[in-house]
Amino acid sequence: MSIHIHHIAIVVDDLDEALAFYQQALGLTLAERRAVPEEEVEIAFLPAGEGEIELLRPLDDRSGVARFLAKRGEGVHHVCLRVDDVEAAMARLQAAGAHLLSETPQVNPHGVRYVFVHPKSAHGVLVELYEVKGDE
Amino acid sequence: MSIHIHHIAIVVDDLDEALAFYQQALGLTLAERRAVPEEEVEIAFLPAGEGEIELLRPLDDRSGVARFLAKRGEGVHHVCLRVDDVEAAMARLQAAGAHLLSETPQVNPHGVRYVFVHPKSAHGVLVELYEVKGDE
């Protein structure tokens, strides 16, 4: 099984200000920015080699991302690793006693299957596993 | 200027327990594990595609890493991006008003030049820039 860093998601208060830093000051390039109302966030994608930096801001104060921001402040929200078989990865994690946030893979609007591992199992990190088939 | 994700550093209480999760449960491979007494940490390196996951544990209770762990608990300590010219990156950051943790690049024992950006400038993330010359 191959595992690559897919993205690092950073939750911010103000997406314009955060983009000013990550684009102009740091030199990353904005690939896409869009609201995802079903997840109550606005997201900006900034590729960095084979991975990317994602900046998230909550669209309301009810979502999990909003509660994270209120409790912990700005910073890394989750780390996403791409795997070639999310069910095999889930079976391995469950066999090791790790706590997953869903019992079966979730599916995003692009048809990609993913799952989150609880930060208590992953030593303080909310880890997302994102399935990309045919990963070398 | 090209920028890639170089590594994600995660501070943990117990390196053996953390390695059990990141190797056996998640499926990453340990490339190297060593103490770095001058930085008062023990580090384990787990490659993940072109980047890697680094697990850190403090060797005493005085270091910055130890204070981070005592204050915030286990989790992402810093995000490292590789750049091809650290001084050019620093000039750009300073021009934008970002706060760097050193005025000139630091140099690690391998001769690699690096600098840290203060998390207040980078929206809650301690960002390291690590120079790899000839980066495509």
CB contact under 8 Å between A25 and B92, yes or no, is: yes
ipTM: 0.95
Which positions ≥6 away from A27 have C-beta within 8 Å? B1, B3, B83, B89, B92
Q: A1 pLDDT band (50/70/90 cuts)? A: confident
Tell me the count of A-B CB pairs closer than 8 A.
148
Which positions ≥6 away from B95 have C-beta within 8 Å? A25
- pLDDT higher than threshold 70 for residue A63: yes
* Residue B48 with chain A: CB contacts under 8 Å: 3-5, 81
Measured CA to CA, the distance from residue B36 to residue B48 in angstroms comes to 22
pLDDT of residue A36: 92
- pLDDT higher than threshold 60 for residue A30: yes
Residue type, B9: A
pLDDT of residue A127: 98
Measured CA to CA, the distance from residue B111 to residue B74 in angstroms comes to 29
B81 touching chain A per CB within 8 A: yes
Between the CA atoms of A7, A8, A13 and A17, what dihedral angle is there, to the nearest 10 degrees?
-70
pLDDT of residue A135: 53
Instruction: Locate the DSSP E strands across B12-62.
Output: 32-36, 41-48, 51-58
pLDDT of residue B1: 73
CB contact under 8 Å between A10 and B119, yes or no, is: no
The domains of chain B are located at 3-131
pLDDT of residue A95: 97
Residue A83 DSSP SS3 = strand
CATH of B3-131, one of 3.30.460.80, 3.10.180.10, 3.90.550.10, 3.40.50.1820: 3.10.180.10
User: Could you read off the pLDDT of A67-111 as tens digits, one per residue?
Assistant: 999 999 999 999 999 999 999 999 999 999 999 999 999 998 889
Per the CB < 8 A criterion, the answer to whether A58 and A77 are in contact is no
pLDDT of residue A132: 94
| Residue with more model confidence, A63 or B136 | A63
pTM for this model (two decimals)? 0.96
Beta-bridge partner residues of A43: A34, A56
pLDDT of residue B135: 53
* Residue A24 with chain B: CB contacts under 8 Å: 92, 96
B75 touching chain A per CB within 8 A: yes
pLDDT of residue B109: 83
- pLDDT higher than threshold 70 for residue A118: yes
Residue A86 DSSP SS3 = helix
Per the CB < 8 A criterion, the answer to whether B61 and B68 are in contact is no
The DSSP output letter for A37 is: G
A21 touching chain B per CB within 8 A: yes
| Residue with more model confidence, B54 or A2 | B54
Residues within 8 A of A (CB atoms), B 34-73 only? 48-51, 53, 55, 73
Query: Which stretches in chain B have pLDDT values below 50?
Result: 136
Q: Which of B125, B128, B130 to mutate to test the interface with A (most CBs of A within 10 A)?
A: B125
Measured CA to CA, the distance from residue B130 to residue A77 in angstroms comes to 22
| Residue with more model confidence, A29 or A135 | A29
